[in-house]
Structure 1
């Protein structure tokens, strides 16, 4: 462990760093990053033009950067929200995914990102999370996702590619582990994002230990937990600026040579997401909920309130203040990079 890259999202022909994937890689290299995760290859290269992809690969090789790719979502109940993948498959979402998997396999980009759901910011909590869709239950979504993975399995094994499902805001580590165990760790792994665990009522270190054997990608950012009128909110911070014990967290993965660190940045917002552990409806939707982990999260929120009252930490209003999108995004990346580099020198593997 030790190589540090950054995750970039391409939408409408560009990302917050640059207009093209090559320019984004060059910018990240100038900022000091050693790798890049292109979140969705179909957004970065809308027609999957082999010449453009080959040129990107040559440039990252020249820069000495490692490359990881994302291939979109695997929950059939939300694939209608991603029509571009179906277009790539000439009418078949499955064929579109298989096409991207083969493309990644040929180029040796064998650890790919994916996720099960998404976040709908225009909807009220908890219905903004796909876990709480009202047209289909969450267990039905997991069952359909599992069936879709099974359809992808022959292509994944033939190409030597592994799906790394993110600890996204709609799914728990318990559910991810079951998906890995059901399909085999050769084709299913985990992209570990510590900042999303609290949204599902999970504490960071216990959750990290649950998925650690299956982690091959990471999305790294820090958190601040704060009490609000609606419950407890999670806010994103650059690594080292929040409440995560990074020495302990990195220690979970320190012995793993195959885990690269990737920073996922935000800008102009702290991406507030609400958990409601005191709400019966919310609790019923989390059958694996652990009381000790909920207590740990509430303690973090109480600690934040004390720091804010003492004037040594941001209050709720400050956490909710929107700023400059592009400037804050770059600062988020560079602050996280500096903090991670500092901690990597001192971290030691934790005992099992």
Structure 2
């Protein structure tokens, strides 16, 4: 795997003044070398490993929030580890902050390359859904930031705007810390944060929907889909509802968003009628938010993320691409702390 270029300024981030070493060789044994190139003792290697493991879920969450892909987030963690094992820990004031900064830099590198990859993606691109642990749903701010709807809004930000927004709004980092991570001065970071927040706030749902209303809407949607009840489906969909489907060129999907309750309802039910298949729907929680697993003739077909507004469904995000369905059978721990 080609290693991304390390952005300038990383070497002295979070240290007490003595620069840390550069990136590790991709085939170096973890913990094998110190910052001066000499062999490291087992105690130092153990300390590096312990720190990385202690913050791993946080680092993965940072990378996933920025990339929308678990596979790419895992690659970023590997790259972070390769750099971390070469750092002189005696020179690091705050190990958590240092690791977050490395992860942010590597995520920015990958985010820029992903933007080129998405340009050639077949059909709409949706984030990779993750089956999450119950505590994620309890953290309201984290769950909102992980929702399919908001992650699609984050896609419209520049890489630096996305990094600043995520680090500030989701992980509550100070402007000085964020400035070091994105190689900007704090005043500039404040301006970027304000601009990104204004952009995101304009596209957030207008009001929060209660858990009871969410559950009722999900039940109605599930019942209408499984029974083929067109009117029942129209009753639960907002008039301006939008459906996006991601097949990745592997599974059939709408090449453009489907807009409007009538078109969305007929799109959902028309496929089952046309092909003579049986659709079953199972509630689940992905990215800390209510979602549905759809099965066709007993086989898993995809995951549908849902956006609610005014007690109705205003957004449906249907991921069918098999490469994006590998994280829905086993929980992925995520945290903002």
- Greater Rg over alpha carbons, structure: 2
Q: Which gives a bigger RCO, structure 1 or 2 (Cα 8 Å, sep 6+)?
A: 2
Q: TM-score, normalised by structure 1?
A: 0.24
